[in-house]
Amino acid sequence: SPKFTPTAHVMLHVYDIFATPDCVAMNRVLHRLGTGAFHCAVQVFDLEWSFGPGQNDYSTGVFSMEPRQLPGASFMKSEGMGSVRLARADFIKLIRKLSLEWPGNSYDVLKKNCCHFCCELCQRLGVGPVPTWVTNLAGMGAAISDKVEAGEQALLALDQCATEARRQVTSKVLELDQ
């Protein structure tokens, strides 16, 4: 007889990263502009899954909780990502694999955060990436951070060149004085 594979509905739950009134108000304005500072999690079956800094260097950053119940955050909205035919055991295998790939000590607020994890999980489930408004503020921050880092490296290289030029000029002046 054919094996029954259940349909799993995939929901993206989006939270204001902080539950303070100012943060919630700011995110409502930013959301209208297509961005914001969010925490997100993906619900598959009866739990939602997300990613954060681990408790120690060796722990995973992947965690689960009851849907729409993140402590300290304000639930904003849910986005239906689609449905997949998926056995619960196969989903657990995927989560175990992601748990190894997403250690807590790899968390970076701009480059590898909960929104990036949710995007990866949704893509692996075959329901596509998360909406761009969820990740683009962190993406802009990462791009700025990269530019600042590149600028710092360029300034360091320029300083090293200037130091070498001063050394060579000093050496020539000392030669001429002899």
Paired with 65 in beta bridges are 48
The burial class, CB within 10 Å (0-12 / 13-18 / 19+), for 167 is exposed
Burial letters 83-121, b for 16+ CB under 10 A, else e: ebebeeeebeeebeebbeebbbeebeebebbbbbbbbbb
Does the active-site annotation cover 39?
yes
Report d(CA 77, CA 79) in Å as an integer: 7
Marked catalytic residue, from 13, 40, 114, 116: 114
Does the active-site annotation cover 114?
yes
Marked catalytic residue, from 39, 40, 119, 122: 39
Catalytic residue positions?
39, 114
